[in-house]
Amino acid sequence: GAVVSQHPSRVICKSGTSVKIECRSLDFQATTMFWYRQFPKQSLMLMATSNEGSKATYEQGVEKDKFLINHASLTLSTLTVTSAHPEDSSFYICSASPGLAGANVGFFGPGTRLTVL
């Protein structure tokens, strides 16, 4: 149980284009989803928290207009990197929570490697 998928697993795009990453909870309903980015040999940095049906809460320093998050259903959240630039190249990981108190153990997706040329 508690499987989280991400699509695509890897994407290469040209500078200036937009890229959408999907995060799905496959066997549970995710009231809350988290988006992280991870640079090589570094820890996970939380970008934003999204709750189903409401606007995402962004961490300080994360541009909300650049990283658009939509959590339209209890099993799907999307992260769109708009007008991507080489500095946006990173490993993006989502995490989903069933939304029950005490159950936020962080079920992570496999990650999406974004390379912006």
Partner 1 sequence: QQQVKQSPQSLIVQKGGISIINCAYENTAFDYFPWYQQFPGKGPALLIAIRPDVSEKKEGRFTISFNKSAKQFSLHIMDSQPGDSATYFCAATTIKAAGNKLTFGGGTRVLVKP
Task: List the structure tokens of 42.
Answer: 């570094």
The nearest distance, CB 83 to partner 1, in angstroms, is 26
Rounded CA separation 79/23 (Å): 8
Of 14-22, 35-43, 64-72, 78-86: span binding partner 1 (CB under 8 A) = 35-43
Binding test (CB under 8 A) with partner 1, winner from 12, 72, 103, 117: 103
In the complex, minimum distance from the CB of residue 15 to partner 1, in angstroms, rounded to a whole number = 23
Q: How many residues bind partner 1 (CB under 8 A)?
A: 30
Distance (Å, rounded) from C-alpha 115 to C-alpha 31?
A: 30
Among 26, 32, 74, 80, binds partner 1 (CB under 8 A): 32
Torsion of CA 46, 108, 74, 1, to 10 degrees: -160
Verify binding: residue 78, partner 1, rule CB under 8 A. no
CA angle at residue 6 from 104 to 17, to 5 degrees? 125
Rounded Cα gap, residues 44 and 14, in angstroms: 25
Binding residues vs partner 1 (CB under 8 A): 4, 6, 31-32, 34, 41-44, 46, 49, 51, 91, 93, 95, 97, 99-111, 113
